[in-house]
Amino acid sequence: MSPPTNKNKKKCDGPKHPSHQLHISTFFPRIVKTPAEPEPESSYKPVRPMTSRQAKLESHRRYLNRPRMTEKELNQWFKKQEQDRKKVEEMERQKNRRAKAAARRKEKALNAPKPVPKLKEGQMPLTNFGFQKPKHDAVV
| Percent residues over pLDDT 90 in the chain | 33
Report the number of distinct structural domains present in the chain: 1
The reply to whether 101 falls in a domain is yes
31-36, long-range: CB < 8 A, 24+ apart:
none
C-alpha span between 31 and 47 (Å, rounded): 30
For residue 105, the model assigns a pLDDT of: 95
pLDDT above 90 for 16: no
pTM: 0.34
The reply to whether 59 falls in a domain is no
Specify whether the CB–CB gap between 31 and 24 falls below 8 A: yes
Domain assignment of residue 100, given as a range? 73-111
Name residue 126's beta-bridge partners. Answer: 132
The reply to whether 118 falls in a domain is no
The 8-class DSSP code of residue 126 comes to B
Specify whether the CB–CB gap between 8 and 1 falls below 8 A: no
Q: What are the pLDDT digits (tens) for 108-138? A: 998 888 777 777 787 766 665 555 556 666 5
Q: What are the pLDDT digits (tens) for 22-54? A: 666 667 666 555 666 665 666 666 577 788 999
CA 4 to chain centre: 77
pLDDT above 80 for 75: yes
